[in-house]
Structure formats: C-alpha cells, structure tokens
Amino acid sequence: MQPTLSQNFTFSCLQNLPKGMKHPHAVGLSEENKRKNRFKALCTYDFNRVILHKPEGANSSDYINATYIKGCQRDKQYIATQGPRVNTIDDLWWMVWQEGITQIVMLANLQEDGKDKCEEYWPAAGKSQTYGQVTVRGLEEQQRADYAIRSFVLKAAGRERHVTQYHYMAWPDHGVPLAASLVDYWRYVKARTTSTVPLLVHCSAGVGRTGTFIALDIASEKESRGEDVNVNEIVTKLREQRALMVQSEAQYKFLHEVVLEAHTSRATRVTVSQFDSIFPDNIEVKKDNARIDKEFQMLKQMGQFAKPNNSMATMPENLDKNRNMDVLPDNDHLAYLTSYVRGRTQYINAVYLPSFYHRHGFVLTQLPIPNNTLIDFWRLVDGCHVTRIVSLGSDHEQETVKDFCQYWPRTSGEVLTAGPYSITMDAFSKLGTCLHSYRLNLKSENGESSREVELLYYTDWAGEVPSDTSSLLHLVDTVKAKQTDDVTTPIIIQCIDGAAKSGLFAVLSDVISRVTHDDEVDVYLTAREVQRIRPQAVATQTQYRYLYKAAQEYIRHVGVYANSGVR
C-alpha cells in the first residue's frame, strides 16, 4: 500500500490561511521597542508576548520579540522568537534564564546569501561571556553533518543551569532542506526535550522555519495521541498566535512532506539497549523478518515520490560518461569537477553525500570508464582535495565487468598516467584477508598539486552483499579510525555504478556512527537520507536486511573490528 496522508492528514491551500497582523501589537511597535525587531513590520501580539521581568536597576524595557505558542500539552509549550540582534542578545539570555529554558532550537545560519540572519549570541567552548545579568560559559560543541550541538552553563543570581543549543545548518538560502534530514534533527531534539519548560525555537524572523519546526512537532504529538492531523488547521492556529508562521508556499508544501516523513519513520528508531529484546534471534539476509521487511516496503514506497533533476547527466556531451543510465546524479548534489583540463566538461557521475560528521563527507562515484572518464576521476580527487578512496568490489571484476578500468597502479614504483596526472604506488599493506591499502602519490604535470592518497581496496563483495558482515564492519571502523575531527575533505566511495555498493556502505557507516555516538539504530531514516540523494542505494530487501544484521553484530561485538584484521 502506497503511503498516503489521506486518512489521518488533510491537505489544504496556503491561500486560505490568515495573513498579516490579526491582533493588537502596540507594544512591539512603540518607539522604545521597534528597534528591537529584526524586521520592521513583524513584531509580537500584545496578548501572548513574553514579558521580561528584569532585576531592579536593569534596562526597564520588558519587550522582546518572542511569543508563547500553545502545544498539545501546555499553553506555553514553545517560545518562538527572532534571531537576536546586537541590541537584543542580553534580552535573549535573560528570557532563557527567566523562563527556565534548557533547550534552544536554532534554524538559521549567521549569514545566508551574503546577508546577516542572526548574531552569534553565544561564547565558544571554553570561553565565558556576560550578557547583562547572565554569564554564559561554553562547555562543548559537537558537529554532525547537518547540525551542531552546543552545551552551556548559565549563571545568574548565584545559581547555575545547563542549556543545550541544537543548531540546524542545512536549511538552504533559498528553498527547503531534505525532509529526512530535518526529521533526523527534529527527532534528535525531541528525544532530549523536557516537557515542563518551553522549548525556545528561532530562525531569523522567527516565523518561517520556526513555524515549520513547531508545526511538525505539534503534528507528531497529535498523531501519537491518536488525533487527526490537519496541517492546515495547525498552521492556522499558529498564525493566530504569531503572524506569518510557516511563511512561504515552499515551506507550507515542505511541511506536508516532512510530516509524512516523520509519520513513516515514527517507529523505526531502536535504542541499543532495546535492540536485542526486539531482535533476539540472529538476523539473516535470506530469512523473512516482519518488522525489517515492512520497513523496506515503506522505503520503496517513499522512494516513488523522488523527482530528481538529471539534466546535467543527460546532456549530449555527458551521456557516454555514465556506466548505467539508471544511475544518474541529481543536479543539486552533483560533485562538479573544478580542476580544469582542456576539452573536458565539469561533469562526472558523482554525488556529494553527508557522512555522520560532515555535509559533504562522502563522494559516491562509479568505476571510471577506460579511455573516457579515467582523467575525470583523478580530476575529482584533485579538485576535492581527497586523501582517501574506498573501492568496493571483488578481485574477479576485471573478468566480469564490461569496460573494466584499473585506475590505480598496483605494484611498487609503477606509474599510471591519466591526462595531466601521474599516479605512483609508493607502498602496499594488507589490513585483512580482503582489505588492502595502497599508498599513492598524485601529481599534476604542471606541478601545481601533489598529495598522498590512500586507497582502501575491499575485495569481498561480488554479489548484492558481502559474504559476511564482519569484514565490512572492519572496513567501516578502519575508515573511521583514519579520520580526524579537523579533516573536512570528502572520502570517495567507488563501486561499479556508484550506488549499489557505495550507497550501502555509506548507510552502514552512518548507522554504526549512530550506535557509537547516540546509542541508537535507525536503518530506515538513515537509508532515506541517502536515497534522497542516490535513489538506487539500498535497492533490495537483501541489502536492507544486511544492514540490520551488521548493526546487530556490531552491537554484540562493539570495538572488535578496529583492533583486528578479520577477513
């Protein structure tokens, strides 16, 4: 059955929603307070504005552009506010202190499209800053692909409180992010949100992205309470409390999409502590599993909604650069070639994909085509400043793959030439029975670039999935161990078509990182995020079961693979 919102969700037209300022708002437009508004015509309503109760002797104004928003549980479940201006940072931190806020949701970047969207209102980790009556000390910052988690200690009136900020950074300057990405972020926040104090949510104006996030949260709570979810009704009620919530048509359409994404993934997250009780038996790739197979069917159905734009890949001059015309990159995620070579275009069949830590952590690409894209492959390595390549396949591909291309030298001292590049093999080592490491040196003929590149060649993957899980888990841990926090250049993941094996590896890498850092498994949502960029990834039920099987083995034997040369 195709997933649909027709039974529990109601679509309607944006044109029917309330527009403009519907209630008295004199306080926000007073001469004293209007300079505190980021946008002249957008302020709070008088009836539900947050009133600042400042200590005696502090600035007398009680105004901040912040609004109490009703949720399913409480009248003041959220506070929607604008991104602070220079002259309102002190007010923001006093509001956080006054309202007992412990979590802040930030949905804008400091600058977007060359314009200031929000002041950097927090101190760096290890630094302290006093904002009016509140001293804020930065404790820690963790980076994920699409968001950052920052923790602080606030001190005022002789007391201390911990506050966490969740900063989502993947909302583009124009348009909307990927639905699965926002749902992943929202669920991370949701799992850590207390139910007794308001959740502070802000973007730049405090209405568009802020309204979308709050509407998603309300829709999810309504569904969990068994109530009908009417997106139009939710947005209407939000706009009665703060003008222009869910501001644009694109955001309104996106809200429906993200509510559906949250709906389909509502039961796919499993904590590590729950995993063995939910899956007590060994998971087998050739054996039915009702829960896993149901998730995969939903994954396939959701994939039908994808509408990729492959116009670059199908331009006449680029057609012969694709090994498989069913695996073409979307323009929005295409890894364009930046290293100039006369007579070559900027196109290569390769896409950027987020890793757990970086938005462009992986580049998925196909096996080069001899006498055609071999030069382009090394242009990709050069232009992206790549220092690590993972090649997935088997030793038999040279005989079984049409137009096979040996794109790196395999004997010490051997030099391979690809257009303006020369690649030399400097060293070789075996990291396991089916995992080999080649240390290569890449040089351009003009001497402008020269770098060491490590190629990890995994040879235990002839069919849909490897012959076991332990060898691929060893590769995942090997790659993780070689990465450092300050390295932001992508890792190239290469297989024959740049999707079937590469996509599964990317999903598994993220799944294992979630186990390590968040003590949870969510194969479905992780696969959804990858499929929105490379739809052909995790295309079979066998591969989907394999991901669960690998997660099960990793949980049962965590830490083994990085310290052993298994298979």
Catalytic residues: 203, 495
Containing H/E element for 232?
helix 231-241
How far CA 481 is from CA of 163, 440, 485, 512, in Å, comes to 31, 19, 11, 13
Q: How far apart are CA 30 and CA 39, in angstroms?
A: 14
Q: How far apart are CA 494 and CA 410, in angstroms?
A: 17
Q: Give the Cβ contact number of residue 370 at 10 Å.
A: 12
Q: How far apart are CA 448 and CA 374, in angstroms?
A: 20
CB–CB of 150/158 below 8 Å?
no
DSSP one-letter string for 126-194:
T-EEEETTEEEEEEEEEE-SSEEEEEEEEEETTEEEEEEEEEE----SSS---HHHHHHHHHHHHTT--
CB–CB of 359/146 below 8 Å?
yes
Q: How far apart are CA 357 and CA 389, in angstroms?
A: 17
Containing H/E element for 295?
helix 290-303
Q: Which two tokens stand for residue 434?
A: 């089916």
Q: How far apart are CA 122 and CA 527, in angstroms?
A: 34
Q: How far apart are CA 548 and CA 551, in angstroms?
A: 5
Q: How far apart are CA 45 and CA 23, in angstroms?
A: 6
CA 360, 363, 368: angle at the middle one, nearest 5? Answer: 160
Q: How far apart are CA 87 and CA 341, in angstroms?
A: 51
Q: Three-state SS string across 52-70, please?
A: CCCCCCCCCCCEEEEEEEC
Q: Which two tokens stand for residue 380?
A: 């990709």
